[in-house]
Structures are given as C-alpha cells and as structure tokens.
Amino acid sequence: MPRFKLIVEYAGTRYSGWQIQQNARTVQGEIDRAVREVTGRKDFELYGSGRTDAGVHALGQVAHLDVATGLAPEMIRRRINDELPADINILSATVVPHRFHARHDAVARRYLYQIATRRTAFAKPFVWWVKEPLHLERMRDTARHFVGLHDFGAFAVADRSNEDASTRVLLEGLEFVVDGDLVLVAIEGSHFLWRMVRRLVGVLVAVGRGEMDSEAAVALLGARSELPAKLTAPASGLFLERVYYKGDARHTPLRAATPVRSEIRG
C-alpha cells in the first residue's frame, strides 16, 4: 500500500477546523470523503501535520495518505480535487517512504497572520482589520522578547486531556513585514499550543495600539493570566503557511496570501 504525501491549501472560513469531528464539517472530513469516492476504499489512513482551528486557513498543510490504489500520484491528486469543494485544493501528491509521518517528522511550522490597516471589500475573510494606527517598531521591539524557549502557558488553551503537557515552546522567529495595506506577521517555531498564535498576535496588536506597554506584554511569559485570552485575534487572518521537514530550506521570504493594494486615491 503506497503512502502519499499531500500538500493542501484551504480557506477555512466554512469549516470547523482540520480534524474530523462528529456533526461538523471539517477539511479532513471533506478529503476523507473525496478519497472514498475516488478509490472506492474505506480502509485507508489520512493523517495531518497538525490541527487548525475553525476558520483558520492553510497555504501548505501537509498530510500523509495510505491507500491501496493503482493510480499514479498526479492522477490521484486530480481526481481527489475533482471531488473536493472549491475552497480545498490538493497542491501536490508524491509517494514517500512508509517511515515518513506528516506530524511526527515535522521539525518546525510557520504561521502567517494578516492584519489589514484599511477596510477591504475583498479580503475580509482573510484579514483582521485593525482600525487604530499601529506602532510597528514598538511591536517589533516587544516581539524580540518572545523569540527563544519560553513558557507560553498564558497564551494557550489548557489541554484537559493532557494536563501534564509542557507549555514551553521554542519560538524561532517572529517578524513583521508591511505589504501594501497589510501588516504580515510570521511566527515560526518547533510547535504551537492551542490558540497560542492568535493570542500572541492579539497581545502584540494591543502593544501596537498603545493599550499595553511592552513590559506588561513580556511579563505574560511564564505567567498565568486570562488577559491573552481576552485579546485573541480573529481566526480570519491566520494561515498555516508552511510545515518544515528535515532538509527543507528555512526562513523563506514572507509574502501575503491575499494581497491588499494600497488605497487608490483619485
């Protein structure tokens, strides 16, 4: 039985996240249904590199698929896409060794968050429009303190199924890029806790708005505070941009997923 490595892009607006759930429409559920249609099989495994929450998007989610089929990788990619809704797309399908595991072999992940600095008629499902001016240098200065190995417990939803799980995360990069009327936030790390990225962005935006000083934001590391939960950024602006495996090029250039042109005034 071959193992296929799938790279998947999706707009998460209409879905309750990646992972299959009862009585909810999910991205994995849609791909699972499409594989059944294409192969006629029920005995297969589809495993993603990690969960994304309801409303969160992906530019490069990775999954592995074990299914008995005589179809070539490109043919299975095309046929699965034919069965998928327009907001989910398999970008590539390649045969990989059975020792490859989409989740366990991942060495890092990078998330992209898009903040719009103006109202946009077209990109609303893919941005967080922040109306107030943002002090980007203050946000950058604060962000530097979060890079490294820290306890991000205040930025995460507690995992009640595994209360002994560590909340320490190695954050390898956190950068800001201005692209037209977007502020792009790239967050790269070994792994991420549930809601951590959105809460981190929310805290940094509060700093940029002048609602919180840098010292108070940094003091949340290792703390037990409800404040980051109250500042959680909307799911609409978040993308799982890239999953890295051994040998992949790291710290690749940052680009907008849905560019927003600077205002045309005439």
**Per-residue pLDDT tens for 118-170?**
999 999 999 999 999 999 999 999 999 999 999 999 999 876 544 557 899 99
pLDDT for residue 264 is more than 70: no
Q: What is the pLDDT of residue 159?
A: 63
* Stretch (H or E) spanning 63: strand 57-66
> Which residue(s) pair with 47 in the sheet?
64
- The residues that are catalytic are 53
- For CATH 3.30.70.580, list the domain ranges present in the chain: 3-96
pLDDT for residue 253 is more than 80: yes
Indicate the DSSP class of residue 264: P
CATH architecture type of domain 107-245 = 2-Layer Sandwich (3.30)
Give 87-122 pLDDT, tens digit per residue.
999 999 999 999 999 999 999 999 999 999 999 999
Q: Residue 148, SS3?
A: strand
Find the mean pLDDT for residues 56-75: 97
Q: Residue 211, SS3?
A: coil
Cα separation values, 5 from 40, 160, 249, Å = 20, 31, 18
What average pLDDT does the chain have?
A: 94
What CATH number matches the domain at 3-96, 1.10.3720.10, 3.40.50.620, 3.30.70.580, 3.40.50.300? Answer: 3.30.70.580
pLDDT for residue 249 is more than 90: no
The count of other CB atoms within 10 Å of the CB of residue 35 is 23
Q: What is the pLDDT of residue 161?
A: 47
Closest CA to 169 of 208, 200, 126: 200
% of the chain with per-residue pLDDT over 90: 90
pLDDT confidence band for 266 (50 / 70 / 90) = low
Q: What is the pLDDT of residue 263?
A: 64
- Report whether 206 contacts 231 (CB < 8 A): yes
Distance of CA 234 to the CA centre of its chain: 13
Q: What is the pLDDT of residue 251?
A: 77
pLDDT for residue 200 is more than 70: yes
Instruction: Provide the whole-model pTM.
Output: 0.94
Task: Write the DSSP assignment of 149-207 as a string of letters.
Answer: EEE-GGGS---GGGTT---EEEEEEEEEEEETTEEEEEEEES---TTHHHHHHHHHHHH
Least confident of 10-24, 52-66, 71-85, 241-255: 241-255
Integer Cα distance of 214 and 228 in angstroms? 14
Q: What is the pLDDT of residue 265?
A: 56
Between 176 and 263, the higher pLDDT residue? 176
Q: What is the pLDDT of residue 163?
A: 53
- For CATH 3.30.70.660, list the domain ranges present in the chain: 107-245
